[in-house]
Amino acid sequence: MLTRLAESELWTRQKAVYEALGMRAWSDGVVPWRATTCPLLADVEAGLVAAFAEDVGPVTLVDVGAGTGRLAFHLARALAARDVPAHIILTDVAPSNLEALARQPQLAQLAATNRVSFATFDALAPTRLARGPVVLLAHYLFDTLPHAAHRRRGDETFEGLVDVAVEPWRWSFEPAPFPTCLRGRGDGTFLVPVGAARALEAWRSRFDGPLLVLAADKGVEPRSADELPLLARHGSTSAGVDFEALAALVEPTYRALAPQQPSHVFALFAFVSGATTPSLEQAWRARGSRGEVLSLLEAFERLLGSEPDVSTLLAFLERTAGDPDLLAQLAGRLRAATLDEAQARTLVRHLATAGDRHFVFPQQLDVPFELAITAHHLGALELACALYTLSLRESGAHPSTLLNLALAHEALGRRAQAKEVIEVLLAHTPDHPRALALLEQWAG
Ligand SMILES: C[S@@+](CC[C@H](N)C(=O)[O-])C[C@H]1O[C@@H](n2cnc3c(N)ncnc32)[C@H](O)[C@@H]1O
């Protein structure tokens, strides 16, 4: 049956989709997460939160649709580094996600000291989780909330109706008024983030203090009047967010702060309501608006597509705010390179920071292992041992991790510990040739 896109069951079944996927949404790479949960974004946002707190007093943060919880983990650290005492409530519409978040060891530790807590929360039917000034984080959230489709061709304007019960979806564009939030647009097909606008209005009426909403999402790619709207389907459905239309929909309740350069790949926007915020505005000009995360991701893509020298790789790492995932993906290249002493010291420093910032979360790449073998390769043996141990805890007793850990202990002169590790390895893989050879060598 044809329905307006904004009223389609696509959007109402998001909760069920995320509930069914659980943490597999992220661990199996179904839903993207690196950009919106990276340490650099947390660092930029901590600066904005600190400035907002200067303007309005102590704030509570609400991460709406917290996903893996990785952003809150980085943000808690970045806020503490700035001496901003702020409590973060991790929320989701899917209760199974919250159960998983509460079990995550680093978040559980933060919860034990009351730095974070957990609550179910529907962005579209919010409960009042906090009083006073609140910062709401909406990362890859607005793209999952309802969107309407509109089209202009010359003087004619239409609204998009869709039947998602058939494959491919059947679309029909029926004559309809053009929304005022798209005023000034030429011919094309447009997605209007009506769900995000509803959420922002609902948050405004639910919370009593000044609000800052930090929204990180992909933007919109222009579509001609002959093309269908662009909706990504990865288990759930998501749409690029037309932030310009959203800003028009929610003014004057909210004032929008926009990035200097628009992007359809990744954008950070701020929406402010209920306060004058000179410090925030200054922080926005200084950092928030500069698209740091986007340019980091672009630089990363360029590195992957080229053969950078060591100093280029190290200069890139300097910009990542200690991002373990980016370093792990570059680790093979760094191991293959020849480093002078100063470069090796710099890389060990990056490995130590990245190990410290690693958010324990099973994913396709064993990040601690990649960091560990790189530290091992550089002769930073204690660091390597710590990182192998982290890998064992996160990804289980892999023979190569155990073998490398034993070799690192042995190289540090800790034969007894090395033997213990080899015995664990042989308990899992009794005929492991290297392990048997090592025991024999040590016995002799
Ligand atoms: C694409 S994920 C983003 C997760 C995380 N913020 C990130 O950046 O990786 C969308 C998240 O929003 C949650 N979600 C979907 N609809 C929601 C709603 N109406 N209210 C609150 N959370 C919602 C999903 O369960 C999921 O955790």
CA 373 to centroid of ligand 1, rounded, Å: 34
Angle (nearest 5°) at CA 17 between 89 and 117? 10
- The owner of tokens 């080899």 is 422
Q: What mean pLDDT, rounded, does the chain reach?
A: 95
> Is the pLDDT at 24 greater than 90, yes or no?
no
> Is the pLDDT at 161 greater than 90, yes or no?
yes
Query: Each residue of 375-386: pLDDT tens digit?
Result: 999 999 999 999
- What CATH fold (topology level) applies to the domain 295-443? 1.25.40
Domain map (residue ranges) of the chain: 3-290, 295-443
- What CATH fold (topology level) applies to the domain 3-290? Rossmann fold (3.40.50)
Query: Each residue of 198-244: pLDDT tens digit?
Result: 999 999 999 999 999 999 999 999 999 999 999 988 778 899 999 99
CA 306 to centroid of ligand 1, rounded, Å: 34
Query: Each residue of 327-357: pLDDT tens digit?
Result: 999 999 999 999 999 999 999 999 999 999 9
Q: What are the pocket residues of ligand 1 if the criterion is a CB atom closer than 6 Å to any ligand atom?
A: 14-15, 18, 31, 33, 36-37, 64-68, 92-94, 97, 121-124, 139-141, 144
Which tokens in the block code for residue 115? 């730095």
Query: Each residue of 50-90: pLDDT tens digit?
Result: 999 999 999 999 999 999 999 999 999 999 999 999 999 99
Query: Each residue of 257-297: pLDDT tens digit?
Result: 999 998 999 999 999 999 899 999 999 999 999 999 999 99
CB 200 within 8 A of CB 215: no
Identify which of 92, 139, 233 to mutate to test ligand 1's pocket (most ligand atoms within 8 A of the CB): 92
State residue 28's pLDDT score.
Answer: 78
Query: Each residue of 385-443: pLDDT tens digit?
Result: 999 999 999 999 999 999 999 999 999 999 999 999 999 999 999 999 999 999 999 98
CA 144 to centroid of ligand 1, rounded, Å: 7
Question: pLDDT band at 310, cuts 50/70/90?
Answer: very high
Question: pLDDT band at 444, cuts 50/70/90?
Answer: confident
CA 123 to centroid of ligand 1, rounded, Å: 9
Atom 14 of ligand 1, residue of closest alpha carbon: 65
Please give the Cα distance from 158 to 173 (Å, whole number): 6
Q: What is the largest CA-CA distance in the chain?
A: 90
What is the end-to-end Cα distance of the chain in Å, rounded?
78
Percent of the chain with pLDDT over 70: 100
Give the side-chain half-sphere CA count within 13 A for 430. Answer: 0
222-260: b or e for each residue (b if 16 or more CB lie within 10 Å)? ebebeeebebeeeebbbbbbbbbbbbbbbeebbbbbbbe
